[in-house]
Amino acid sequence: MPKALPEKTALAPEYPLTTNAIIAPIVGWLIPGAGHIFLKRYVRGILLLISVFAMFFIGLGMNGRIYKPNGGDILDILGFIGDVGAGGLYFLARIMDWGNALAANAAADYGKTFIIVAGLLNFIAAADAHQIALGKKP
């Protein structure tokens, strides 16, 4: 007769969800790189912070627009989701009313893309902080 596994072993997750695994991605989303700094990965955190901040502010400097919450065109919705990825930077830009320039030129189009990509990269960084906190990544 096969021996049944003890119940605790069978149900225990390989990487249990810890408080840090919840806090780190949230902090990392709000302040780019802060999730890694919170987990004591200082060099990675500072590099992520510099990268996301630089992408976001270069985008704004190029007159890129900031998307507002909208329910219209699918590309506008996706643009908003990308922008929100920058977390605190997005909210700061909305509070300060940045990214409202109505410039229809190539540079402004690149700027808009820089801002969206900054947000998407920050989503990846926040997910990475979650993986580190879980212990899946050193």
Partner 1 sequence: MTLTLTHFSAAVVFALFTSIVFGITQKNTAKEQVRYGAYCFAMFVGGVFVAGWLMWLIRR
Question: Least distance in Å: CB of 61 to partner 1?
Answer: 3
CA distance 24 to 59: 26
Q: What is the dihedral of CA 43, 46, 49, 55, to 10 degrees?
A: -80
* Nearest CA-CA partner of 19 in 130, 97, 122: 130
Distances in whole angstroms, Cα of residue 46 to Cα of each of 14, 49, 136: 30, 5, 21
- CB-nearer residue toward partner 1: 20 or 119: 119
* Position 38 contacts partner 1 (CB under 8 A): no
SS3 content of the chain, % helix, strand, coil (to 5): 65, 0, 35
**Is there binding between residue 83 and partner 1 (CB under 8 A)?**
no
- Please list every residue from 60 through 79 that binds partner 1, using CB under 8 A: 61-63
What's the closest the beta carbon of residue 39 comes to partner 1, in angstroms?
A: 13
Binding partner 1 (rule: CB under 8 A), the pick from 26, 77, 127, 134 is 127
Q: Is 81 in the site for partner 1 (CB under 8 A)?
A: no
CA distance 35 to 40: 9
Q: Which of 23, 26, 30, 47 binds partner 1 (CB under 8 A)?
A: 47
Binding site for partner 1 (CB under 8 A): 36, 44, 47-48, 50-52, 54-55, 58, 61-63, 106-107, 110-111, 113-114, 117, 121, 124-125, 127-128, 137-138
